[in-house]
A and B are shown apart, each in its own frame.
Chain A
Amino acid sequence: MEEKGVKKEAAAAENAVDLKKIQRVRFLKDNNSILILVALLFVAFIGVDGFTGSWYNVALYSAEYGICCLGLALVMICGNIDLSVGYNAAFCGVMFVITFNHIYNSTGNSALGIIVGLIVALITGGVLGAFNGVIITKVGVSPLIATIATNYIYEGLVMNFAKTSFAPVNKDAITPIAKYQIFGLRWLTPMVIIFLLFVLGTYLWMHYTRYGNRLHIVGDNPEAAEYAGISVSKTAFTTFVLCGIMAGMTGFMMVAFSGAAIYTQGTTLGTFPISCVIIGGVKMTGGKGTAVHVLLGVLIMRTVSTMMSTMFWSTNRVNLVTGLLLIAVLIADRFTSTKSADE
């Protein structure tokens, strides 16, 4: 009898050690993106000539596209996906330029133009996002095929309105948002600050509000969410709208950064956000990831692309690497997933 008790205690102690170990392994597993980023930066600074002079580009380019990655992450945490985010952003950029030009030409007030243009861009993004949301959460079409179809529509919209390159009449009023160097620091521009604010806001929203907290549950186990009185379709719909709005913000940032709404930007954006989001630690199957993970993912991908451009790689090679990277990231996601995807 006594022996049994001792055994039990020993087992309990062993169990406790085991649990601690599990927790530690889990922490590393969930946050491996930070290790990847540190290692990557180390390699870049040591091994790539000229990176010390161009690393500020990592911050700028991250800020340019980062916000729509954040939106995509919200959708993916809920267990869906949005492949149309690139052309959604591109179209919002076009809408911004059209509105801005119209107001600037009639009033000459560029501040008013920027504000109204931005509002129009955000609303446009929200509406396009809601369109995705309705098809996917209300009708029930698979998010993958649905957003491929809407991507096609949004691409048509961009081309229809933008033809080639579409510059704002008074671009000097807009570009400082992306280019003005605060405290003379090349990496710190208003655009970077806006991006960080979005990251912070999203993080706080998901961590501190009841609605934001639902996302993980809905993505992780929709049935459990329904049993707990959480509407899965409503929550998923919200993420699509938010993703659209963030795509609108990205559209505005792209105009500010490059001084024009360039139609090819939708293509550039193609699979890039998905890579960022997954490499950062958000799971394809949903239920996992925070805004900080997205920030890390964007920084990783941007470090890679800045490294490549510093080494004067051609776009072909860059495309090749981005594609292969996406596949690699998918494979990694497949083998680290706690949930098995099928059977």
Chain B
Amino acid sequence: MADMKAKKKGQENSRWQRFIHADGVSVFFAMIVVAILFEIILQVMRGGGGGLIFLTPANLASILRQQLYVGIIAFGMTLVMITGEIDLSVGYQLTMLCSICALFMIKTNNAFVGIVGTIGIGILCGFVNGWLVSYLRLNSFITTLGMSSVYSALALMVSAGTVLVIPNDCSPAFQWFGTAKFGPISILIVWFIIVAVVLGFILSRTVYGQQMYIIGSNPIAAKFSGIHYKRNKLIAYMIVGACCGLAAVVMMANVKSSNPQSSSGTEMEVILCVVLGGCAVTGGKGSVWGTIIGVLFYGVLNTGFTMMNLTEYMRWIIMGLIMVLVLSMDVLQERGVKLWKKKA
């Protein structure tokens, strides 16, 4: 009798644990805890009594809105990081693509050229990165860091170092891309959801997606199973490029001015989102669902620290420390699993 009870409890326990260990669930709870903490801290800082400060619907909506561009790129980055590689050039890729998009629109005022051209060039950037990394087998970190400075230079060259402004009376089709509204829902959120669904579908439901996990987890096993790991990695990089292109188009349609000097640090935001969402830097682990949570978590942190009146630079320091912490926990957890196995 007691045995059965214990067994039942064990089962429940394991079901609970499985739930907790599912992608993003624990991060989701952590996010809620952090949001509540921010609420408490802000209440204390501002003397309280004025009702909710942080957890208001308006504030939460703005958190989501701020993170949309980063989020779109983060979904693409999830694919690359699952294969165990990285793309550090997304920040300047975005900058460059924004300038190119603006240039296209100023020169042609043709929505088709602006949109397809920008995304096409994004895919081309991804192709170059991916080819260097997968076919020439260069180190992805340093290669994409090098490509980063190439893209930043190209951004400045394309725009001659000036801020390019798309005229307000430009092609309405192009404007629709960034400003349309479906009832109360901005098109930005629709893009975010579309990219998440498409890439989520690719990752979890397609042959290609399932092979990505094997490539990241054990490239040698992938080779022995006849998977074209080089080609698959290349495609992942091209997807990131396409995501950058889309983000650039949406951003330009919305903001209408490109600053070739900006965007340093975007790659860090993107990577932090992906890592927070439970993607292992060593590859083989992660999901789009996790990244969604990561993006939201990052938004909560960013907004929270801003509302606490921390300077941008203070936020960088804290974000960096959080990243180090997450990475360390990942490694220690992996080691811990091994230790536990040895004992068993």
Contacts and interface: CB of A to CB of B under 8 A. Distances in A.
Task: Note whether A and B contact each other (Cβ less than 8 A).
Answer: yes
Contact of B327 (A83, A149, A274, A323): A149
A83 to B, nearest CB: 7
Nearest to A278: B142
Interface in A261-313: 267, 270-271, 274, 284
Contacts of A156: 313-320
A1 interface: no
A267 B271 CA distance: 19
Contact of B149 (A150, A160, A270): A270
Given A153-B316, A153-B321, A156-B316, A146 B145 contact: no
Contact of A343 (B223, B311, B321): B223
- Interface magnitude class on chain B: 35 or more
Interface string A138-150: 0111101110111
Interface string B113-155: 0000000000000000000100011110111011111101110
Contacts of A343: 219-220, 223
A211 interface: no
Nearest to A162: B313
Nearest to B311: A160
Contact of B313 (A81, A159, A326, A342): A159
Interface stretch (B192-200, B239-247, B251-259, B328-336): B328-336
B336 to A, nearest CB: 12
A22 interface: no
Contacts of A81: 141-142
Interface stretch (A50-58, A174-182, A314-322): A314-322
Interface stretch (A6-14, A119-127, A327-335): A327-335
B88 interface: yes
Interface string A216-252: 0000000000000000000000000000000000000
A232 to B, nearest CB: 16
A327 B220 contact: no
Interface in A146-201: 146, 148-153, 155-157, 159-160
Contacts of B153: 316-320, 323
A284 B137 CA distance: 13
B156 A146 contact: no
B89 to A, nearest CB: 9
Given A141-B327, A153-B316, A284 B139 contact: yes
B202 interface: no
A270 B152 CA distance: 13
Contacts of B157: 316-317, 320
Contact of A330 (B146, B150, B265): B146
Contacts of A331: 132, 136, 138
A153 B317 contact: yes
B324 A150 contact: yes
A267 B282 contact: no
26 contacts: A83-B141, A135-B327, A135-B328, A141-B324, A141-B327, A141-B328, A144-B139, A144-B142, A152-B265, A153-B316, A160-B313, A160-B314, A271-B145, A271-B146, A314-B156, A316-B161, A319-B150, A319-B152, A319-B156, A323-B147, A323-B148, A326-B142, A327-B138, A330-B142, A342-B219, A343-B220
